[in-house]
Amino acid sequence: MNRKIISIFCLIVILLAVLSSTVNASASAKVFSSSKSSSYNNCGTYAVAGLSTLGYSPCTSSMGAITRDSMLEWIRNTGNGYAMYVHTFGGTGYFNDYYGYSIDNTMISGNWDFVYIDSSNSASSTELANAFHTTGYSNRCFLGWNGSITTANSERFNYYFWLTYVGKSSIRNAAVSAATCVPGSGTSPIKLYGSTTYYGTAR
Amino acid sequence: MKLNQKIILISFVLIILLTSVIVYAKTSETTPVKETKVVTNEMKNVSLDVLQKLNSSDSILSTDVVYDKLREKDLYRINTENYMIDLDSSNNLVGIYSMSTNPVSTTSVANKDDARKIIENKYKELNLPADYELSYLEKFDEEIWEADFEKNYNGVYNKYESVKVFFIPANNEIVALTIFNDGHDDSAVTVSKDDAILSAAKELGIDSSEIVSASLSMEKANNYYDESNTDKSVHTSWVIQSADNSIVFVDASDNTVIGGDCINE
């Protein structure tokens, strides 16, 4: 009898271990938001909610005086990190940390499912999208700006993109829907590289 | 209590605990809005009429009432297989958002004239505001074009009274469309560009030679330079940009700074 009970107990423990490992095995994501931007707090918070909707778990965040080292540490992680959002300042082929130190395509490695660099001109060339290896696959994409973006327009875009449209359609459609919610001509030059049908869902 | 019973009890508690954690994690991801307002049959009919004009035979799958924090109003949302249609409480169309786009067989070869004809026809079909005029039409990406219809006040367009639409001319397909309908400031422009530049330079603490551009448009006041400012109304403004990417909105009728912005560059 004792043996039987001990066997059942062991089985339950194994089951629990398997269940907990399954829960932790989903792809994770990280949000970086630089307080150089007046809307960093809202944009970061919206992104955490949106990435969680897409199933990334855990989705952690670093908001404030973000550093290049902390971003590179995440970019070069060898764990389950497959998605990343950065709200910051930047230009074509690079983005900055709070202190103005840049990350460019030569510093980026890894195979990413969904990356969104929310800084001016981040998608004006394919450099960052290619560096994150988000192009040429059916379930990967890169989102960025194909031109200048103001803090207010970025914040408005992110409100609708992350909280309303993401998860309900492909990233491309969600981005175009959010772009129409920003008033003004050419004020939301969002650009997608990679799969136009990918929903951004965590693997 | 016997050892066996203790083991069974502990196992039971462990299972309950784990199940609760998983259920909580799943349900806490979304916070349902407690809403007593409902999408009426009239709203559903309006959305079905819109769908017909989009050449869609979709039926309604679900409806929601959601609060839009930025517009500060409720939206009555009708979801179909391919579209999300938003209306306001008076049954007016607020937006059309496609959930999927049809593949374009060849790269879009529509020229600007083709694109203009297609979007102007669709604009009329959808009974969108007749007093807005096409102010912007440009290619957005390989397939999609952006068109903006805005109300013109003596040469100054009001982007807050406008229709912004992204569409695929090759498929005659609307990808996303939003209608903005915020009031305008009808004050006359009495402040010169040079005076506005001086005001902006003073606000930024820079010399006016560091100002790189100045243009007249309609902008919403905000608290970018004055946290105590609660005004969010639309003003005819001089938009002044400095070399360090700061933007200042100067009211074009009284030369006061009503807000600003910054380019993330």
Residue B224 has pLDDT above 90, yes or no: yes
**B14 CB within 8 Å of a chain A CB:** yes
Residue of A nearest to B223 (CA): A38
Q: Are A185 and A199 in contact (CB under 8 A)?
A: no
Residue B186 has pLDDT above 90, yes or no: no
Each of the 203 residues of chain A gets a pLDDT tens digit; together they read 566 766 666 566 666 555 554 455 689 999 999 999 999 999 999 999 999 999 999 999 999 999 999 999 999 988 999 999 999 999 999 999 999 999 999 999 999 999 999 999 999 999 999 999 999 999 999 999 999 999 999 999 999 999 999 999 999 999 999 999 999 999 999 999 999 999 999 99
CB contact under 8 A, A184 and B159: yes
* In chain B, % of residues over pLDDT 90: 79
CA distance readout (Å), B219 to A156, A166, B135, B204: 15, 28, 17, 19
CB contact under 8 A, B264 and A120: yes
What letters, b where the CB count within 10 A reaches 16 and e where it falls short, cover B176-213? bbbbbebebbeeebebebeebbbbbbebbeeeeeebee
Amino acid at A141: C
Cβ within 8 Å of residue A13, ≥6 positions away: none
B235-257 per-position pLDDT tens digit: 999 999 999 999 999 999 999 99
Amino acid at B62: S
Give dist(CA B17, CA B25) in Å, integer.
12
Local confidence band at B136 (pLDDT 50, 70, 90 cut-offs): very high
Q: Are A129 and B240 in contact (CB under 8 A)?
A: no
Helix (H) or strand (E) holding A145: strand A141-145
Residue B26 has pLDDT above 50, yes or no: no
Residue of B nearest to A96 (CA): B265
- Quick one: angle between helices A40-53 and A151-160, nearest 10? 20
Check residue B59 and report its DSSP letter.
-
pLDDT at residue B27 in the model: 42
Residue of B nearest to A175 (CA): B176
pLDDT at residue A26 in the model: 84
Q: Please classify residue B158 by burial: count the beta carbons closer than 10 Å to its beta carbon, then call 0-12 exposed, 13-18 middle and 19+ buried.
A: buried
Q: Are B168 and B147 in contact (CB under 8 A)?
A: no
Chain B residues in contact with A86 (beta carbon < 8 A): none
Q: Report all structural domains of chain A as residue ranges with CATH numbers, in order of start.
A: 28-194 (3.40.50.1460)
CB contact under 8 A, B264 and A159: no
Q: Are B83 and B167 in contact (CB under 8 A)?
A: no
| Residue corresponding to tokens 């995440």 | A74
Give dist(CA A122, CA A109) in Å, integer.
17
pLDDT at residue B34 in the model: 56
Residue B19 has pLDDT above 70, yes or no: no
Chain A residues in contact with B18 (beta carbon < 8 A): 16, 19-20
Give dist(CA B58, CA B107) in Å, integer.
27
**Cα-flanking dihedrals φ and ψ of residue B118, to 5°?**
-65, -45
Strand-pair category, A141-145 with A190-194: antiparallel
pLDDT at residue A22 in the model: 47
Residue B30 has pLDDT above 50, yes or no: no
Give dist(CA A77, CA A70) in Å, integer.
11
Q: Are A119 and B264 in contact (CB under 8 A)?
A: yes
Chain B residues in contact with A9 (beta carbon < 8 A): 7, 11
B33-63 per-position pLDDT tens digit: 555 899 999 999 999 999 999 999 999 999 9
Amino acid at B85: I
User: Any idea what the Cα angle at residue B127 is, between residues B122 and B131, rounded to 5°?
Assistant: 100
Give dist(CA B105, CA A126) in Å, integer.
24
The average pLDDT across B116-130 equals 97
B89-105 per-position pLDDT tens digit: 999 999 999 998 877 76
Amino acid at B61: L
Which value, in Å, is the radius of gyration of the alpha carbons in chain B?
26
Gap from A140 CA to chain B (nearest CA, Å): 17
pLDDT at residue A1 in the model: 56
A92-125 per-position pLDDT tens digit: 999 999 999 999 999 999 999 999 999 999 999 9
Q: Could you give the strand order of the β-sheet that contains A81-87, starting from the edge strand earlier in sequence?
A: A59-64, A28-34, A81-87, A114-118, A141-145, A190-194
**B1 CB within 8 Å of a chain A CB:** no
CA distance readout (Å), B169 to A173, B110, B115, B144, B177: 16, 6, 6, 7, 14
Question: Which of A172, A176, A182 best probes binding to B when mutated, by most B CB atoms within 10 angstroms?
Answer: A176
Q: Choose the closest CB to B261 out of A53, A90, A150.
A: A150
pLDDT at residue B110 in the model: 79
pTM metric for this prediction: 0.88
For B:154-183, CB contacts with A below 8 A are 159-160, 162, 164-166, 175-178, 180
**Cα-flanking dihedrals φ and ψ of residue A124, to 5°?**
-75, -15
Cβ within 8 Å of residue B6, ≥6 positions away: none
CB contact under 8 A, A186 and B138: yes
Strand-pair category, A114-118 with A141-145: parallel
Can you say how many angstroms the Cα of residue A195 is from the centroid of all Cα atoms in its chain?
15
Q: What is the DSSP code string of A53-107?
A: HTT-SSEEEEEES--HHHHHHHHT--SSEEEEEEE--EETTEEE-TTS-EEEGGG
pLDDT at residue B7 in the model: 72
Percent of chain A as helix, strand, coil, to the nearest 5: 40, 25, 40
Residue B76 has pLDDT above 80, yes or no: yes
CB contact under 8 A, A38 and B84: no
For A:71-110, CB contacts with B below 8 A are 88-91
